[in-house]
Amino acid sequence: AVAKRKSEAPAARPKKRAKRAPSAPEAAADPVPEEYSIPPPVSQVPPSPAARGKWKNKERVLIFSSRGINFRTRHLMQDLRTLMPHSKADTKMDRKDQLFVINEVCEMKNCNKCIFFEAKKKQDLYMWLSNTPQGPSAKFLVQNVHTLAELKMTGNCLRGSRPLLSFDPTFDKEPHYALLKELFIQIFSTPQYHPKSQPFVDHVFTFTVTDERIWFRNYQIIEEDASLVEIGPRFVLNLIKIFQGSFGGPTLYENPHYQSPNMHRRLIRLSVAAKFREKQQVKEVQKIKKEGSKVLIEEDPTEVVFETPAEEKPVEIQLVKPESKPIVKDKKKLRKIQRKKQKKLLRTEA
């Protein structure tokens, strides 16, 4: 009996039935799709034929300044950070430090581009655009700065959206402008599929060359008629030098039309002094003319004929001291005294 039990295979146990939930209405069985759903960032979308979002361009821009900047420069720097989602910030650099230290700061912040604002004399602002650490780098004098808060324009754009870059045809004609164009493209263009960027293009950065200066403007693209409305900020860049290295090195180009702010202020003072000196000279010339216009007429000897000398009066010597007159402040009392004297004289004569 034992051998028979071993030889026989164990019978398969029947499976337990899963408990079923109570029957629900058919409408609840089909899930209703959500009306509002937030899509994931473009960089996290898996690569597929429909959407291939891969963040390949890892450009990072460090935007910071030196100590001693004014409020307008601080607001301009903050505006650029909001317009450029691929930018990073850092603390202000001490003025005593050398500029090549910025290369180490960019390396620590994992940035390969840099915009550095340098303030001098609390009134002059310089901007450095550099490709760290190899170079090249360019130094500009920043003029006519207007921030977003000052302009109060009617335009508006989505934060983090990618801009279009519009360049003047002059950038393709001269070699130093071509180098600056490539530098501007690498710094100001937001990389595609950046995690902090939005997949929209609704504003334009324009770089225009006028009067040997580069004018920066930011415009919104209106969808209805594709017209442009200025948003801000706006500023003018006056090129000083282009260096081969980052924040130094051999000079590739030097602007012959550049005039330093110190020289400009000196010329203004000299022109004011020249105007004042000219006014003084005009006054002296007028004074000399007035003196020269007076003609001196010689004396006529016949005029003495009609002069008759006055009669000489005999000299009288008073031997008696004159009577002292009483000092009376009140005029009425003085008149009374005079009347009394006259009455006395009349009585004596009578």
How confident is the model over 212-234, as pLDDT tens digits?
Answer: 999 999 999 988 788 898 988 99
Rounded to whole angstroms, the maximal C-alpha distance in the chain is: 203
Q: Give the model's pLDDT for residue 51.
A: 45
Q: Give the model's pLDDT for residue 11.
A: 52
Q: Give the model's pLDDT for residue 347.
A: 86
**Terminus-to-terminus CA distance in the chain, angstroms?**
203
Residues 54 and 47: beta-carbon distance below 8 Å = yes
Q: Taking CA 11 as the corner, what is the angle to CA 9 and CA 15, rounded to the nearest 5 degrees? A: 145
Low-confidence ranges of the chain (pLDDT < 50): 1-2, 9, 21-22, 24-29, 47-52
How confident is the model over 68-123, as pLDDT tens digits?
Answer: 899 999 999 999 999 999 999 999 998 888 888 999 999 999 999 999 999 998 88
Q: What is the CA radius of gyration of the chain?
A: 49
Cα separation, 184 vs 115, whole angstroms: 11
Cα separation, 191 vs 85, whole angstroms: 9
Alpha helix positions (H), 157-239 = 175-188
Tell me the pTM.
Answer: 0.66
Tell me the domains of the chain and their CATH numbers.
61-264 (3.40.50.10480)
Ramachandran area for residue 152 (φ above 0: left; ψ -120 to 50: alpha; else beta):
left
Strand partners, 127: 117, 140
